Structures are given as C-alpha cells and as structure tokens.
C-alpha cells in the first residue's frame, strides 16, 4: 500500500517516529494509503530547513520565483489526471469535479502568484522639499500554511503560492483526511527545481503536527483555513507570540431570492450553491430565503431539480455528487438531519443513506436534503452543517430577510437574486459578509479580497491582500532638505 512521505529540506522522508496513519477513501470506506503521523520533531526539522533556505529565496530576483512557480503550475497541469484521481480518492468528490474545478484552480493559483511576484510594486510618499518615504515590503521568513479537506489542493496552493511569491519559506500542513495531492505537489516541486527547504510539507494530525507549526517560535505567520473552533484555538496560541494571522473559517451563508429575480438562473444557481461538493464548500448557500409571491413555485422547482441529482461512485461519469469526506463527518451531518426533525423541520427531499452497488457499498453517501418549516433562529439555521442539508424559508420584506441573513455568528458570503439595481446595491451594503454575489455564485477574480467577517475569520486572501499579508512593511524616510 502506498506510503505518503513528508517533504522536508527538498527530500521525501518518513516521520521521525516511524508512525503512520490510515488514509481512507470515503467512497469505498477502505484504507488505501498511509500518511505520516508527524509530530513536533518533524516540524522542527522542517522549520530548520526553511530557515536555512530563506536568505537565498528572499534575495532571489523576482524572475527566479516567477519561473519556478510557473514551472510548478505547468507540471501539475501536465499530470492533471493523476492529481484529479488523488483528490477524488481522498475526498470522495466526483472525479469530473476534481478534474474541471479543483486542479485547474490550483494551477491558476501558481500562475497568478507567479505573475504577482513580477508585478509587485511598493509605495512612496514624497514630502516635497524635505524628504521621501518609501515602503520596503520584506518577506516575513518562515510561515505556516494549514488547510482543510474540502478543496484540498486548491486551498493549500491558495496559501503556498502567495507566500512563496513574496519570498517566504513555508512549512505547510494539508488536512490529514486529504493528503495525497499535497504529496504529488511535493514531487512536482522537486521536479520543478524548487530549492531545498523553500517549501516543506509535514503531514499529520492537527493537535500534533498542526499545533507544533503554530507554536514554533520561528514561524512568523499562520495562514489557516478550517473550522471556527480550530481557528479560535490557533488564535489563542499564536496571539501571545504576536504572530501574523489570517483565519478563513466557517460559514452559514444565505441565498436570498427576491420575487423579481430571473427565476431560471436563481433556481439553478441556488441548487448548485447549496449542493456543490455535497455542500462541503465554505461558500455554499445553506439557508435559502425566498420572497413570498414566488415561494411555492421556487421551492417545488428546487426540490424537483435536487431530487434528480445522482449520488454515487465518484469515478462514474454520471455521478453529480460523491461521498462525504469521512465516517465521522457523515455521522455529524446525519445528526443535523435528526436535529432538524426535532426542531419541527419537514424534509422535502433527500436525507437518505445511499448504498451504491459494487466497490462503493461501504462508502459515506447521503442524498441531498432540503428542509422546510424552520425559523431563522433554530440551531439548524445557526450552526454550520457543511454537508448536503439546507433549509428553505419564505420572507416578506427586505428588512426581514436582512435580519435573518445577518442573524448568525458567521459572515462569510451571500448570494442575492433580484433585477432591481437599487435593491441589489442596498442589500449588498447591509449584508454583514466578506463576499456578496449578486445574480451569481462562486464567480471569482483572483485579484479580489477573499474572506469573512465575524466568526468567519480575520484577514483576507487573494491578490495583493495575500502578498501584503506575507510581507512586513518597513517605512524608510530619507531627508534631503536642509
């Protein structure tokens, strides 16, 4: 059985303890590889390698970083099929989705930030006749990048690429549930000629390997994407050490459909927004609010379309949805279905455990569920479920729906459907979210700031925001006047 290895100091190495963990394919329920159960000693070795590599990488002219990051992108693209299969086996998502969304986006991340390395410019503030100030933006040193399982390579590279482009060295940890694409990335980095120690990937569990990265005194910043509870713990650990923090956390995003919407676009995108990747995208719309005049028509059409989605073997070309990522997450989502019923919810469709024939009969499958009859304050509508379970509710006024939409601890994203231009801008301004989509969902320009407010996190990723995060600004004031 395949053994995943750590990538430290330019080499693929086993964990110092010799301990490995099982890596389960959620579609089959079977162990299909082993991953290092790394601890603080592996992290210390990775940090030492990064520290050693840092002076040369930081001093490299931008063209060097540009060329290597582009080469990494090219090599991932050339082997897209292996990356997509690894992602599907780890995560349970349809191979077609990994092939068309996740891996191409990881390629774009490297290309985008390769270019940023070449284009980055600093500010100058002249004081006429007296002095000139300029801002030197210098890399931080060794930084930690910790990512979740839902979009494994996409989110890992969304952190690593800007960190490297800005001249930092990285100690990264992918989710222990989805390590395989990061292992393939390590091999690609070796082939691309990335200097030893510039990127180090340590596999393992959050409380051991992840915690050791956050605690290491030489790691200057943590870029973390994951759950809100983990983010809170990381903040509590890192804040007293004055580390820079970017935390991209959970969401409970509303889809708001006004009666004057383009019905076809709204209903098809609401379905996609609710159930893409089985609802396991932080940006998924899991609370669907529909204005009264079109509520019944919209609900019935949504239920019809969602009932037609096929859940099954991720490798089958006709599967729209695959397996949930792990047994424990599958059970957690089932627990929320039971809670929704206890709270008085009616399941309009889905919520059934599915047992596909053949190799996937032991996998973690659940059909996509829509629940009606719950109010905005109940736990089902307040807590992040992060699975194929959404609620639908009718609203009357703009004021009412804004209160519901803003009435959770989270503030990541919303999608709003209306043809009224003034209302679109008004609602966007009042939504307490980091991202608002009007008449669309998941449309992303990589230059825009990405992130949430409230318990959805602090800091922003994307474009120059990411480069700024991974650099320290130093003001130099040069007096030339008398």
Nearer to ligand NAD, 88 or 178 (CB): 178
Nearer to ligand NAD, 104 or 227 (CB): 227
Give me the residues that bind ligand NAD (CB under 6 A), please: 146-150, 155, 173, 175-176, 205-207, 210-211, 214, 225-227, 230, 233-234, 248-251, 282, 384, 386, 412, 452, 456-457
Tokens of 377: 């304050």
Tokens of 297: 């028509």
Cβ(204)–Cβ(40) under 8 Å?
no
Half-sphere CA count of 169, side-chain side, radius 13 A: 28
d(CA 251, CA 253): 6
Nearer to ligand NAD, 150 or 157 (CB): 150
Cβ-based neighbour number of residue 155 at 10 Å? 27
**Nearest distance from C-beta of residue 237 to ligand NAD, angstroms:** 7
**Nearest distance from C-beta of residue 80 to ligand NAD, angstroms:** 22
Which of helix, strand or coil describes residue 336?
A: helix
**Nearest distance from C-beta of residue 422 to ligand NAD, angstroms:** 30
**Nearest distance from C-beta of residue 134 to ligand NAD, angstroms:** 33
Does the annotation count 282 as an active-site position? yes
**Nearest distance from C-beta of residue 396 to ligand NAD, angstroms:** 30
Mode of pairing for the β-strands spanning 2-3 and 453-454: unpaired
Return the closest-CA partner of residue 83 out of 5, 153, 155: 153
**Nearest distance from C-beta of residue 423 to ligand NAD, angstroms:** 27
Q: Any residues with CB less than 8 A from the CB of 264 and at least 6 apart, and which?
A: none
Catalytic residue selected from 45, 176, 248, 384: 248
Which of helix, strand or coil describes residue 18?
A: coil
Tokens of 301: 């059409």
**Nearest distance from C-beta of residue 456 to ligand NAD, angstroms:** 6
CA 469 to chain centre: 17
Measured at CB, which residue is nearest to ligand NAD?
A: 206
Return the closest-CA partner of residue 328 out of 176, 146, 153, 145: 176
Nearer to ligand NAD, 39 or 176 (CB): 176
Nearer to ligand NAD, 186 or 290 (CB): 186
Nearer to ligand NAD, 176 or 301 (CB): 176
Does the annotation count 248 as an active-site position? yes
Residue 215, judged by CB atoms within 10 A of its CB (0-12, 13-18, 19+), counts as middle
Catalytic residue selected from 189, 282, 284, 349: 282
Maximum distance among all Cα pairs of the chain, rounded to whole angstroms: 84
Residue 341, judged by CB atoms within 10 A of its CB (0-12, 13-18, 19+), counts as middle
**Nearest distance from C-beta of residue 387 to ligand NAD, angstroms:** 10
CA 391 to chain centre: 23
Instruction: Tell me the backbone φ, ψ of residue 382, rounded to 5 degrees.
Output: -110, -30
Three-point CA angle 122, 123, 125, nearest 5°:
155
Residue with tokens 């750590």: 6
Nearer to ligand NAD, 37 or 384 (CB): 384
d(CA 361, CA 364): 9
Nearer to ligand NAD, 444 or 474 (CB): 444
Residues marked active site are found at: 248, 282
């Amino acid at each position: 059985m395949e053994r995943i290895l750590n990538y430290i100091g330019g080499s693929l190495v086993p964990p110092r303890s010799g301990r490995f963990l099982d890596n389960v394919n959620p579609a089959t329920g079977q162990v299909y590889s082993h991953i290092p159960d790394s601890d603080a000693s592996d992290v210390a070795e990775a940090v030492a390698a990064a520290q050693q590599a840092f002076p040369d990488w930081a001093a490299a002219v931008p063209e060097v970083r540009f060329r290597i990051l582009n080469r990494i992108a090219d090599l991932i693209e050339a082997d897209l099929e292996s990356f997509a299969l690894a992602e599907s086996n780890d995560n349970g998502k349809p191979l077609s989705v990994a092939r068309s969304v996740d891996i191409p986006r990881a390629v774009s991340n490297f290309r985008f930030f390769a270019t940023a390395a070449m284009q980055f410019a600093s500010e100058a503030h002249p004081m006429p006749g007296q002095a000139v100030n300029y801002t030197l933006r210098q890399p931080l040193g060794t930084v930690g990048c910790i990512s979740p399982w839902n979009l494994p390579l996409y989110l890992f590279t969304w952190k690593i690429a800007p960190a490297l482009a800005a001249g930092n060295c990285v100690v990264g940890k992918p989710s222990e549930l989805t390590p395989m694409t990061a292992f393939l990335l390590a091999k690609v980095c070796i082939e691309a000629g990335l200097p030893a120690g510039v990127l180090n990937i340590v596999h393992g569990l959050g409380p051991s390997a992840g915690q050791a990265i956050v605690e290491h005194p030489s790691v200057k910043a943590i870029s973390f994407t994951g759950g809100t509870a983990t983010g809170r713990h990381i903040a509590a650990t890192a804040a007293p050490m004055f580390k820079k923090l970017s935390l991209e956390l959970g969401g409970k995003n509303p889809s708001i459909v006004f009666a004057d919407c383009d019905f076809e676009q709204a209903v098809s995108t609401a379905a996609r927004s609710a159930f893409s990747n089985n609802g396991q995208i932080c940006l998924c719309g899991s609370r669907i609010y529909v204005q009264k005049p079109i509520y019944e028509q919209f609900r019935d059409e949504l239920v019809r379309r969602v009932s037609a989605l096929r859940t099954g073997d991720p490798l089958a070309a006709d599967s729209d949805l695959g397996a949930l990522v792990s047994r424990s997450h599958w059970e957690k989502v089932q627990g929320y279905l039971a809670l929704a019923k206890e709270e008085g919810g009616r399941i309009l469709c889905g919520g059934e455990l599915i047992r596909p024939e053949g190799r996937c009969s032991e996998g973690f499958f659940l059909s996509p569920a829509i629940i009606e009859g719950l109010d905005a304050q109940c736990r089902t509508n307040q807590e992040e479920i992060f699975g194929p379970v959404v609620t639908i509710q009718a609203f009357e006024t703009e004021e009412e729906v804004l209160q519901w939409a803003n009435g959770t601890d989270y503030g990541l994203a919303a999608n709003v459907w209306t043809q009224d231009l003034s209302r679109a801008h008004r609602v966007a301004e009042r939504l307490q979210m980091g991202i608002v989509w009007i008449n669309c969902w998941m449309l992303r320009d990589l230059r825009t700031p990405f992130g949430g407010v409230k318990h959805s996190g602090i800091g922003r990723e994307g474009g120059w925001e990411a480069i700024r995060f991974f650099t320290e600004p130093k003001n130099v004031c040069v007096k030339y006047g008398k």
